Amino acid sequence: MTRSYKRIVGIALLLTATIINASAQQATPLSMQACMDYALKHNYNIRNSQLDVLIQKAQNNQTLSAAYPHINGKVEVDDFLKPQKTFIAANSFNPSAPSDLIVGFPFALNYSGSAAISGSQLLFDGSVFVAVKARNTLMEFARLNGEVTEENVRYNVLKAYNSLVIAYRQYDIIKSSLSYARSLEHDVIVTQQNGFAEKIDVERTSVQVNNLATDSMRVASLLTVSEQMLKYQIGMDINTAIVLTDTAIEDRKQNIIRLMNEEEHYDKVPEFNVVNTSLKLNEYNLMRHKLNALPSVSIFGATGYNYGSNKFKDIMSFSNYAFNLMAGLQLNIPIYNGSLRQNQVNEARLNIEKSKNSIAYLKQSIDFQAATSRTVLKNAVLQVQSQRRNLELSDDVLDLARRKYKAGVGSNLEVTQAQTDLLRAQTNYFSAQLDMINAEADLKKALGLLK
């Protein structure tokens, strides 16, 4: 063997041993549903969408607080270090004083103190009324956005899981083929040493082993990347050993046939429900701006004690404080604000029209994606069936070539060629399977069935 050939085979053996050792660890069994459930708890996008619902709830409570009474208390002590003076003519209280004499008098004592409590209650405000009415729709909007996030995560997990299933199968096939090719190589070398085979036969077999070893490394790398991708999608530590339990892709044929006959229902698609709810919110926004033209009404009141003195100790004795009480009704009437409200109403109406266009466009998109996905899935199923037949034929040809070679009526060239054809058929079959399950995921997403 050449040095490069031995190196490639050695690397392939090392990768094989690494994967076997990883599989020998205490692996976590993962079904498709287990991956979905794990992602719902650990995927950071889903966790953030769940936090968005809680954030919206907190924002709703903030809005609702405007409809509740507002009560404030205040305690104040003032030290007038240099009281402000009021200037008046001296002859206003002393007729004998010169007419041009101006005298300044401080009308504040050195110290003053007060303690008060005030409160207000909004009776009517158009914007607050609409905000309170829209809070359930806002919560629904946040929840539906969370459903869209969950659907996208499920879609990615479904494709990553199935890609890993295919990668495992490819790796098993490559290992089996490599093992047989090495056995054949050994037989050819022995035959050549006994004078019944030529050097070219040995080299041809060695080339096949070399190619299979290279393919083994490529598929092993793909397997590692696919496994890490699945763990990334569900939010699992990439160093965790796992083993997949839902590997029977061929058993999905009946489910796929039923899926292709499934009819579209727009309300099953999370994105459609999001844009519908967005339309309701824009309608609430229009109502809010319209109601802003109405007056707002509120009641208020305040009560407390206050006192003033030139001595600080009197302020702190609390014996001379005077009680005060005040109540009122406030009516705020909007008159003119530079056409701000009118433009806000126009903007809200335009946003409603935009939302209606988005709904119509999304319906078209759902219809298009569903029809396209059905066609792609149908063709993928046919391709799987065709490639399956090719795989069976290639397997029969290889079996015949091997039996002829063992019986001494065939050559190792026939076996090598049949082995190469089988690997090509296997690659095509796995590629068709991957296309089929990806098309299945696309159709489920288009129909809103990724639950």
pLDDT attached to residue 334 = 92
Contact (CB, 8 A) for 401 and 415: yes
pLDDT attached to residue 24 = 44
Band (251; pLDDT cuts 50, 70, 90) = confident
Torsion of CA 232, 237, 243, 244, to 10 degrees: -30
Confidence check: pLDDT of 11 > 90: no
Q: Which of 25-34, 128-137, 178-187 has the lowest mean pLDDT?
A: 178-187
Angle, nearest 10°, between helix axes 412-447 and 340-407? 160
Confidence check: pLDDT of 193 > 80: no
The domain limits of the chain are 3-68+125-294+334-447
Name residue 54's amino acid.
Answer: L
3-68+125-294+334-447 CATH, one of 1.20.120.1200, 1.20.1600.10, 3.40.50.720, 1.10.1040.10: 1.20.1600.10
Band (21; pLDDT cuts 50, 70, 90) = low
Could you tell me what percent of the chain has a pLDDT over 90?
53
Q: Other CB atoms closer than 10 Å to residue 36's CB: what's the count?
A: 18
Say which residue the tokens 């759902």 belong to: 366
Q: Which of 13-17, 58-62, 225-229, 404-408 has the lowest mean pLDDT?
A: 13-17
Band (282; pLDDT cuts 50, 70, 90) = very high
